[in-house]
Amino acid sequence: MEASYSSQQESEENVNSPPIKDIGIRKFYQLIGEHLPESVGDTLTQETGDGPGKPVFGTLQAFIDVLENSLRDKELEIYQRGDCGRICRRRTTLFRPDVAIFQRNYPLSQYEDKAFWGSIEMAIKYHSAKKTREQRLEQAADYVAYLLNARPDLISALGLLVEPDSLDFFFCNVTGIYKLSLSNKAEYMPLLSAVLRYLNGRQKKNLDPTLVRVQGSSLFDISFPNASTSLGVTKGQATTYPACVLHYSHKPFRCRASIFIYKPATDVAAIRVIKDQYIKKNRRWDEKQILAKIHANGPYPAVVRMCFADEIMQARCGDHVRVRICLQDYGTDFLSLKTPRDMIYALYDLLEVTRSLYLDRKILHRDISPWNIMIRSSEHTERIETCSTASPVFIRHLLDPQEPKHKSSIFLIDFGYGQDLDSPSPCDEQVGTPIFIARAVQAGEPLRPNPIMYFPGLPPLSEDARAIYELNYPHRVKLFNGAFTPRFGPCNNPVPPFQHKLAHDGESGIWTAVWWSIQASPKNREEKPIPMQYWDALMPRYDGPRTGLPDYDGRNSILHAFADAKQSILHPGYSDLVDLFQDIATTILPDYHWAADFTRQRPDFVHEILQRIILNFAVEKKDALFMDYKKTHKNRKADCRMNRYHVSTDESDCRRSSSINSSVPSRGHKRKLDETSLDAVDAMSIVGESVKNRCGRDDDPSEDAHRYVSISIQRFTILILL
């Protein structure tokens, strides 16, 4: 029997545990609520090697015998690898602990061929001569971190590395991983007994009483003991959601986010998504406040709605407190869209809602990515209630006036990095998800100006599109009237301190659409690999560990390829989309910080161009056959025959977000919180090494600038001739 972690949860290869901190024996006893025995001194941390010593645990069976003797008359049982199979997650071989301890009331085996990490109380690594001491410690540390991921009801978790002549005890919580290494039998045997007593009963103090495992399953009952409404002003009675599925689990450090789905069998409208995470005790809970502001005057279209919010004081962990939010909307992520029409409509609506949030509510999202743009099912879209006075007018109404103005199939989630521009907090953090983060945000400053820069004008709308636009956006038509002539630059605008802008959220939306399009392959069509130079250009590159923001950005070559109308970048069945991305690429290549005129300095100018481009395309191609070609569920892969670099296969690297304060040189990072997605994502290939010489691209800045101007002037000439 194979034991597994829920397929939606984070891959164990990417737990990325922080540095292990050594602690003393007295501190470890305190962490598990035990007193240091008088016979044991206050031993400082001792590192043990592979040197000679009396092998107390010379074999795994010798250690099992000690455990079995200690666990008599206790509610704990032992699982040993080989008893009924392996403890692992599909597609991997890294997480197969040699020994696991579990409770009889929560059996390890829930199905005939599977068991679950969520049933385990402690995972144990036994000595392996094929691994170095450091490798064994790292694997044992990863086990305890992974266990904490799989057990959101635990405030902290314990782990163990068994060496022939020593024991290494691990303690893990949201603040990090702590280790105590003991080679003295008189010290480690009493502590082992204390750990087993802790697991057998005293660990109840280490459990979140508002998050309870359902016996005989991998489900959780979740309660809001002091739930406040979405406005955050009234208190309600305790609200409980039974039998919730742990859908996604962020790595267990820092914010330690977990996403649960409550899905009653009989009422689709009653589905709820519950998000848990930790924040510093005195830190402002921005997501709750931002959602409350957005929906203050009634439900705001295309933004996730909040039912309850609560601070779970019963699950405090040092200076961190658990916060819980219950969300009303659910769906699948942007990558689940099936056709080019769906993708184009979703992209337009994304630009519309981010623009409206900025203008109406003074809110920036700052972390737009495929996993923060949710897609409602068509059935639920029809039933959604919207605010009749809200300003967003979405594309389905533009194309069909019979559709409600505020009806959209998308909604935004995860405002954890959102910014309320009315708050005194500066908007100077570099945050976003690699691949999708705007280039200027990743750089922390305006994009480097070229000697000659081309700033496109507003594209003229077709006759049909113009009538639609003037009817629904008369204020925009008046505001941007006269901005149709392209301009050249750059001007000598001073470089201010970094600020996240609305245009940055728009660019992130474009990279999201590019990501969908470059991987999409129509059903029943021949497979065509992605040319490696384009795939490589999209991938984030790091000088060192893959944490924080990438060190290099090659995505300009993707924009140049689209501006050059390179057909090979997309599957031939979707080559008509190249025309759309050609205009989009020309629009977002320059940084409008360097534009001289006031109109191009307006915060929503880039959105205005992009929405006009998309509307023109949607009207022109409304009846085109390719618009409804459904994509296959299998993504296109990079053409590895062209790749001489190492390629790994884990999408979770692409889902990492980074938060960096531009005034502080240190780097931090967080993973994406897939709040309301009901589907797991497939693995994909990503380049794992830095590449100095980009495939198919010359990095000489002057030549790149001349090439850009040449492309832009050619396109401008064509527009004039037409």
Q: Can you give the pTM of this predicted structure?
A: 0.82
Residue, of 422 and 269, whose pLDDT is higher: 422
Position 389 scores a pLDDT of: 58
Q: 173 near 159, Cβ under 8 Å?
A: no
Using CA atoms, how far apart are residues 669 and 169, in angstroms rounded to an integer? 27
Average pLDDT (671-696) is: 29
Position 144 scores a pLDDT of: 94
pLDDT (tens digit per residue) in 408-444:
999 999 998 999 999 887 777 899 999 999 999 999 9
Position 703 scores a pLDDT of: 34
- Where in the chain is CATH 3.90.1570? 21-38+54-199
Using CA atoms, how far apart are residues 160 and 122, in angstroms rounded to an integer? 8
Percent of the chain with pLDDT over 70: 77
Position 42 scores a pLDDT of: 53
Architecture of domain 21-38+54-199: Alpha-Beta Complex (3.90)
pLDDT (tens digit per residue) in 488-546:
989 999 998 999 999 999 999 999 999 999 999 999 999 999 999 999 999 998 888 77
Position 109 scores a pLDDT of: 60
Average pLDDT (546-555) is: 86
Using CA atoms, how far apart are residues 428 and 430, in angstroms rounded to an integer? 7
Using CA atoms, how far apart are residues 251 and 148, in angstroms rounded to an integer? 9
Q: Give the alpha-carbon dihedral of 25, 30, 34, 40, to 10 degrees.
A: 20
Could you tell me the pLDDT band of residue 117, with boundaries at 50, 70 and 90? confident
- Identify the sign of the CA torsion 602, 604, 607, 613: negative
Could you tell me the pLDDT band of residue 712, with boundaries at 50, 70 and 90? very low
Average pLDDT (10-27) is: 73
State yes or no: pLDDT of 653 exceeds 70. no
Q: Residue 78: which residues within 8 A CB-CB, separation 6 or more?
A: 64, 67, 68, 71, 99, 100, 101
Average pLDDT (158-182) is: 96
Most confident of 214-218, 237-241, 650-654: 214-218
Using CA atoms, how far apart are residues 95 and 176, in angstroms rounded to an integer? 19
pLDDT (tens digit per residue) in 310-332:
889 889 998 999 999 999 888 99
Position 686 scores a pLDDT of: 23
Average pLDDT (16-45) is: 81
Position 641 scores a pLDDT of: 60
Each as own residue / partner, the long-range contacts of residues 275-278 (CB below 8 Å, 24 or more positions apart, any chain) are 275/324, 275/325, 275/327, 275/673, 275/675, 276/152, 276/211, 276/312, 276/322, 276/323, 276/324, 277/250, 277/322, 277/323, 277/416, 277/673, 278/174, 278/254, 278/317, 278/320, 278/321, 278/322, 278/323
Could you tell me the pLDDT band of residue 53, with boundaries at 50, 70 and 90? low
Position 251 scores a pLDDT of: 80
pLDDT (tens digit per residue) in 81-112:
754 444 444 333 346 789 999 887 776 664 54
How high does pLDDT run on average in the chain?
80
Percent of the chain with pLDDT over 90: 57
Could you tell me the pLDDT band of residue 264, with boundaries at 50, 70 and 90? confident
Longest dimension (CA), the chain: 93
